[in-house]
């Protein structure tokens, strides 16, 4: 595969993502020999889809790509995986473990448990792992209750808050101690009906994850 093959025609959404995809395709020849039979146009088209897929699914760090490449090297056939499969591999690890943050799946599971325990109204009685988890879960609850997130929006919200805190911790920002109660200026308009509806959605999502 020629190094001159680029994705300029794909009009990449992000130069960093384009660079990641270029590096992946440089290594695919070793793990997926079948790619040597692709035409130049096929490679350009594939790169375009991978760039868009990465941008839409938040794949933008070398650590995430390492997760994907690790899985790629273990597969037994020599065919190039679909973009969806590779993205799932990229998300299989915890990119923020070194910062003391949970993985997205771990945080989602804890968030569901927090909702079942009563959410923000019962935050003082919830057994938080530490002050960091307190801020993660209470902020997630505030946003999700205010905007009535769908399952997909909840997953995206979990990823976003992890990225926010990863950025803060990487810059050396200190974790504030948890508050015994939220300030009076913070108001989250929810009702029992909406809370129960949201809890039902979370349970449904958790059940779907277990089935899959």
> What is the pLDDT tens value at each position of the chain, 212 positions in all?
443 334 343 344 468 889 999 999 998 888 888 898 999 999 999 999 999 999 888 788 787 888 888 888 888 888 899 999 998 888 776 767 778 888 888 899 899 999 999 988 888 899 999 999 999 999 999 999 888 888 889 988 998 999 999 999 989 999 999 876 444 444 445 554 555 566 666 666 655 555 45
DSSP string, 81-121: PPHHHHHHHHTTS-TTGGGTPPPHHHHHHHHHHHHHTTGGG
């Amino acid at each position: 595969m020629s190094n001159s093959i680029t994705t300029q025609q794909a009009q990449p959404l992000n130069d960093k993502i384009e660079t990641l995809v270029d590096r992946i395709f440089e290594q695919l020849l070793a793990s997926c020999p079948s790619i040597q039979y692709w035409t130049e146009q096929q490679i350009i088209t594939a790169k375009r889809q991978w760039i868009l897929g990465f941008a839409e699914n938040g794949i933008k760090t070398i650590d995430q790509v390492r997760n994907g490449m690790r899985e790629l090297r273990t597969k037994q056939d020599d065919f190039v995986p679909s973009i969806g499969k590779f993205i799932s591999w990229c998300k299989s690890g915890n990119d923020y473990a070194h910062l003391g943050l949970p993985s997205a799946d771990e945080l989602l599971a804890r968030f569901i448990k927090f909702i079942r325990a009563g959410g923000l109204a019962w935050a003082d009685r919830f057994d938080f792992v530490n002050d960091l988890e307190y801020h993660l879960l209470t902020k997630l609850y505030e946003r999700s209750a205010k905007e009535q997130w769908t399952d997909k929006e909840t997953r995206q919200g979990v990823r976003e808050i992890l990225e926010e805190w990863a950025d803060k911790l990487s810059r050396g920002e200190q974790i504030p101690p948890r508050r015994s109660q939220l300030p009076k200026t913070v108001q989250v308009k929810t009702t029992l009906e909406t809370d129960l509806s949201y809890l039902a959605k979370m349970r449904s999502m958790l059940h779907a994850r277990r089935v899959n």
